[in-house]
A and B are shown apart, each in its own frame.
Chain A
């Protein structure tokens, strides 16, 4: 009995420690962002906010290109997710359900192509995009991000469709549904958990990407949030308040997406478990 109590206390202590280590930077980010820029380097330093100010946010939203960065990231993230989800789902479906030569090789090869570091691909892509006029464009960045998302996505969906029994589709065919209708009305809903997982990954990658955005976009109007916030580091000054306010705002949509998807993921997993 007593031993069990100690065990529980130990678990809680560990959990609290992890929360502190992970949570403190986040806390510091929010704290810095809501203090007036002037107090940041003026002692006495405090762990708790002493004065409250929205000056950082006002500067961020109205005096910088932050909203443009945000728009760029959302556009690139949205289309990268869309392309990755559509291509991966169809490719994964094809790799599972159709017979052709070298099928397994292709499926495994996709994962292999995912293993190249971005930096290594960045330079050749830069040269290609430059000759195609795709630098400083949404299309270029979306394609670059999708090139990372699609291989892993295809591999994930390939794995996923293998555990979805073919008899669902066959039941639909026999009911008179065409192949496309079966895909839309039966396969996609059943594959939803996989598609959501692939989309989440694709969006998270695009949202967090710094390397490609830095290499391909040198026009500040085409910066994404990651390279954009980095632009607050100037040669003569580091605008900590702006950086922290920007970072705080950037985590909010991510948080909303995660909370929303969590519910979706759990619901879809319940469907997946039915088979």
Chain B
């Protein structure tokens, strides 16, 4: 297990159109044995960061340290790492066994030892019968397993993964996610995983770095990132469908703080009030999963809405509703559909599940009302 430290990393790509910073003054600390995920939209610099850790790209500025030792100038051959690529990159002219054993062959391990280690890994991944086949004869899932085998057979302290599951269909992807997690528990490696898929990031990682435009927006555990997003951008990126945002205002009335939005005035808890100064424009965010609907008005704070579109999603259903002021509010409900499109309904939610953001800066102010 190896700890990775990245300091003030910058990578500028020059092209005919000018230069762009793919990674912009990025600093990260990845602890040993962690499953650390870099997540973000395409072009956010996550893959470039991973390739710099691998030594496949040279940073314009900044340094990479493995266990405190500077490796910035080491070529990939000398970094003692392994990597899984987006396009699998199994050598097409070698058998699965030769592919998995290639790292060991480069280290001049004896033939019998290579054979034995390859077999152990192949059995662990359920591809022992495929060892003599060429990658072209394998299914997509088996190829991923072989590629995973190639990256763990060397027992390196660092395992880098560049969107390894993006070419698989949904079912295989879920299967391989479990497989990778199972392997991570068995081997002693720090995994740095790159994906644009937040479900992958949330379900696998010990910690996640959310990146955008070459910068890291927030590093946190999956729960932390979900429950305590640092700003509106992160809050809307994490979670699907995206968080609903409502323009509102916080006002102070006789020492009591109140939030006004969706035509309602709701008194704020002491916890929320302590972070607010009063009389400011805010955005109120509520996740679709936390909004609920009922046919009868039961509280004066229930918000009257009209059901616009109902999309069944198997167990859940996604409902779009609208009010006089807001044209689209997304609600995800688990209960069976008792509404029809065009029906009147009342929207309500637990105040603990709402977020308050600064409307101008986007910064999170409170994680409850």
Contact = CB atoms under 8 A, between A and B. Distances in A.
Nearest to B99: A171
Contacts of A171: 83, 85, 89, 91, 150
B342 interface: no
B107 interface: yes
Contacts of A5: none
Contact of B82 (A174, A178, A270): A174
A186 interface: yes
Interface stretch (B73-81, B189-197, B329-337, B345-353): B73-81
Given A175-B106, A274-B136, A190 B77 contact: no
Contact of B77 (A165, A168, A173, A271): A173
B89 A178 contact: no
A189 B93 contact: yes
B89 A170 contact: yes
Contact of A175 (B75, B86, B154): B154
A174 B54 contact: yes
A190 B92 CA distance: 7
A192 B91 CA distance: 13
A163 B34 CA distance: 36
B107 A176 contact: yes
Size class of the B contact interface (CB-based, 8 Å): 20 to 34
A275 B77 contact: no
Interface in B153-185: 154
A42 interface: no
A134 interface: no
A173 B76 contact: yes
Contact of B75 (A173, A270, A275): A173
Nearest to B135: A274
B56 A170 contact: yes
A137 B75 CA distance: 46
Contacts of A165: 87, 89
Interface string B271-295: 0000000000000000000000000
Interface string B47-83: 0000000101000000000000000000111010111
Contacts of A174: 54, 56, 76-77, 79, 81-83
B136 A270 contact: yes
Given A271-B136, A274-B135, A176 B77 contact: yes
Nearest to A273: B136
Interface string A188-212: 0110100000000000000000000
A270 B93 CA distance: 10
A275 B83 contact: no
Interface string A56-97: 000000000000000000000000000000000000000000
Interface of A: 165, 167-168, 170-178, 181, 186, 189-190, 192, 270-275
Given A177-B106, A274-B135, 12 more contacts: A170-B54, A170-B76, A170-B83, A171-B91, A172-B102, A173-B77, A174-B76, A176-B77, A178-B77, A273-B136, A274-B92, A275-B87
Interface of B: 54, 56, 75-77, 79, 81-83, 85-87, 89, 91-93, 102-103, 106-107, 134-136, 150, 154
12 contacts: A167-B87, A168-B91, A170-B85, A173-B56, A173-B75, A174-B76, A175-B82, A175-B106, A176-B103, A176-B107, A177-B77, A274-B92
